[in-house]
Structures are given as C-alpha cells and as structure tokens.
A = this chain, B = another copy of it.
Amino acid sequence: MVVRRRPIKVNEAISRVMAFAKAGPVEHVPIEQSYGRFLGEDLIADHHVPPFDRSPYDGFAIRSIDTAEGSRTNPIVLQVVGEIGAGSVFSETVLENQAVRIMTGAQIPDGCDAVVMLEVVKEVMIDNKPHIVLKRKVKENDNISFAGEDTKKGTIITKKGTYINPGVVAVLATFGYKYVPVSVKPKVGIIATGSELLEVDEPLQPGKIRNSNAYMIYSQVVRAGAVPIYFGQFCDDLDTCFDQVQDALEKVDILITTGGVSVGDYDFLPAIYEKLAANVLFNKIAMRPGSVTTVAEKAGKLLFGLSGNPSACYVGFELYTRPIIRQYINAFHPFLKKEKAILGKDFAKANPFDRFVRGRLSFQDGKLIATPVGLDKSNVVSSLAEANVLIVLPGGTRGYKQGMEVAILLLEDQEGTTLDAFVNTEINSRRSSRHVE
C-alpha cells in the first residue's frame, strides 16, 4: 500500500535538522597541512607586526632634519657610516649628516627617522669614505614601516571558524604557529542502496545502472570539509541491511544512505529507521528534486536518507547534510552562499513545489547571471557536471522568464551564509521573484 507522506517546507526541514547540529573538537596539524581547513580557535597576535620600525626598501636610513635645506641646487652630502643587512641590527646611534645603508626589512637604526631609496641618491667617495648625495628634502617618517602598523599585539588576528586560505597561512606563520588548531573533520559514512546498482567497474547489464551516487556524495563530503567512508552497497535482505546500518553508524559521526527512501516496496530505509528506534525528523519535503529526502536521528547522530536519483541526492546533500558538516567544523557560515542573480534562460516548467535547478553562474559586465543547465529531470547526471549553482525557483503556477531576478546557491564557494540569511529570503515564498529591467 502507498503510505501517504505529509510534505514539509524546506525551511522547516532545515530547522528540524539543525536542531541536532553540533560542533566538533579541535586538533593540531602542522602548518603545511592547514590550508583548506577551518580554524579551531581565535588567534591572538603575540607581538606587533612588524615587530620593529623597519625599511620597506633597499636604501639609506637618514635623519630627515639633515635634508631640510636639500634641493636640486643645494645637494645634501651624507657620510655612509655602516650598513644593515636584513636581520642585523645597527648597534650605534646615527649622528648629524650620517646615513646607514639599509636592506629591505631591516630595523631602522637609532637616530634615523626616514629612509631614502637607492634610486634617488648618488653614491660617491669623498676622502676614500663612502657618501651619498641627495638633491631633495626628505620628510620625517618617509619610507618607514612602523612597528605594529600591520597588526597590533593583542588583536584577534583571525577568528575561530575562518577558512584557512594562503593569506591566513601567512598570518599563522608570522605568529609562530608551527602547529595550527583546526576543527576535526567529521567522519561521514556512505552506504548505497538499490538492487539496480552495479559497482563502478562492473559491465552493464539489462535493467541495471552503475552506482554513481556513492562516488558523487563521496566528493561532496570532501568538498564540504569532512572525511568520507564508503561502506559499499547494500544487499537486498532487510536484516543484513539493518546490521550494516547499525554497524556503520557506530563508526561515523554522520551516516548517509542513497536510495531506498521512496514509497516503493523495495525501499528498506523506513523499516530500518523503525527497527533502529530512530527518530524520523521528516520523510517528505515540498521541493524538487529531492522530495523523498528523509532525515532520522539516533542517539544524537544524524542519518541522512538521500534519494537514489542523482540530482535529488546531490541537492539533498547540499541543503541538509552540508550545513551539519560545516557546523561540526565550526565554520562561520554553514550554509551554501546565497546570492541574487538574473535568470539567463526561460525555465518554463511550473511546479507547485520549490525547485532547486542546476545552473551555471557567469558574470556579465559585473552582474551575476545564472542559467539552467541540461534537462531538469532528477535522474540527469551530465548536467550536474556543469552546475556550479543551484537556482532557487519558488513553487508557483507559472514558469520563470529570462531576466527575472532569482536566488542562487553557490556550490563551489567556501564562504557560505548563516542560517538566518539562508532562510530569511524568498526560498519558500511564492512568486517573490520580480522582473529586472
């Protein structure tokens, strides 16, 4: 018999799932391995950057007062009394009409208050001693990088939850983090179900298809910032399946199954959730694709029952599983980045439910254009390869026209959106998109 399920709204589904979100622990990794991770603690500057007043160029450190009368017609001559390599310190104080050769990054010697670049002086020997000739006046503080002008001691340099890009790595090195506190990646188990599935290296057979969902989800898990563990394909026997799920659940923080959640007789997951005594948060969402996405919870661990259809599986993961992973790794903005764009092509099909259409984002003259890619059937694999956004088309009775303003979700972005910003928009409202002139 058909079990009629009551669909809930996307935002309601998100809110039920996020009620079980938790933050994972922190581990320390060598700085070389920190790129692409999320910072597990606030980093506070333990010293000024630069730590001392220094020269940003190769040149001569001077006393600006000595140049007060300098001009094209009145060249100033200063005696070069020493030189400072980067990393060295000049031990004396520089006196009237003296200069010190200084390398990029070296500390400004006592007595000096400016640097002149190599290119603007002439080096000459007078009485066998090196001198420079300068045909201009130099202002106090010219060409000096001051202690703390980049970062002051005690400031929070980078916040917990920051995505570690190469610039953040530079900051970490500057402050001596040979080992970096990063959020532990959750372990995400993947089980594929479906008697129609062949393993990736099996030859095709009548009525069967190769299992693409497991590998797709595997990559989505990596992209989201977690560690995937593939447990293989289910057998067709309920008891064995149950044992596999129970066993996998013990080994992971989050468990994903693909397939087996629709209302067909061969779909085991509802029975398994029952046998597990898991708390089913919902089993139907008013969205396409992915309406059969089911999420259950057992002892604080979430089980994501994603659809067996590739696109539905893909969308279900990005909307519901990704934020749980990103919350676990303490990311500031656990949801996909949500922005506005102009629809690049008509999307004629009407649908009473909210649609998440695979699309490709391009930029035209400084504007975001999102264009649906391929067919929008939930079993279409090839258009997933081209997609870098999901176009959010709220349910309604008419289709959408090129030029309308739509919300988009950026799939390859690391920055994300907060829960509030994600749900407090037009996703679930009808016909809120307006036409852009």
Asked whether any CB of chain B lies closer than 8 Å to the CB of A70, the reply is no
B89→A207 contact, CB < 8 A: yes
Closest to A118 in B: B2
Closest to A218 in B: B32
**Copies of this chain in the oligomer:** 2
In-complex Cβ contact of A308 among B104, B230, B366, B383 (8 A) = B104
Quick one: given A201-B176, A365-B340, are A379 and B145 in contact (CB under 8 Å)? yes
Asked whether any CB of chain B lies closer than 8 Å to the CB of A61, the reply is no
Q: Which residues of B contact A176 (CB under 8 A)?
A: 200-204, 210
Stretch in contact with the other chain, from A242-250, A260-268, A394-402:
A260-268
Residue of A58, A203, A314 most packed against chain B (CB within 10 A): A58
Interface bits A50-86 vs B (CB < 8 Å: 1, else 0): 1110001010000000000000000000000001111
B340→A165 contact, CB < 8 A: no
Q: Which residues of B contact A425 (CB under 8 A)?
A: none
Determine the distance from Cα of A411 to Cα of B167 in the docked complex, in whole angstroms. Answer: 11
B51→A384 contact, CB < 8 A: no
Quick one: given A339-B366, A379-B50, are A264 and B87 in contact (CB under 8 Å)? no
Q: Which residues of B contact A300 (CB under 8 A)?
A: none
Interface residues of A in 180-232 (CB under 8 A from B): 194-197, 200-204, 206-220, 222-223, 228, 230
14 examples of A-B residue contacts, CB within 8 angstroms: A52-B207, A56-B379, A83-B265, A87-B194, A89-B207, A105-B309, A151-B381, A165-B412, A167-B381, A167-B384, A168-B385, A171-B385, A340-B366, A366-B367
Q: A34-B219, A88-B207, A176-B202 are in contact. List 16 more A-B contacts (CB 8 A).
A: A2-B119, A35-B219, A56-B309, A58-B264, A86-B194, A89-B207, A107-B207, A151-B381, A165-B385, A165-B412, A166-B223, A167-B383, A173-B200, A340-B366, A341-B366, A412-B414
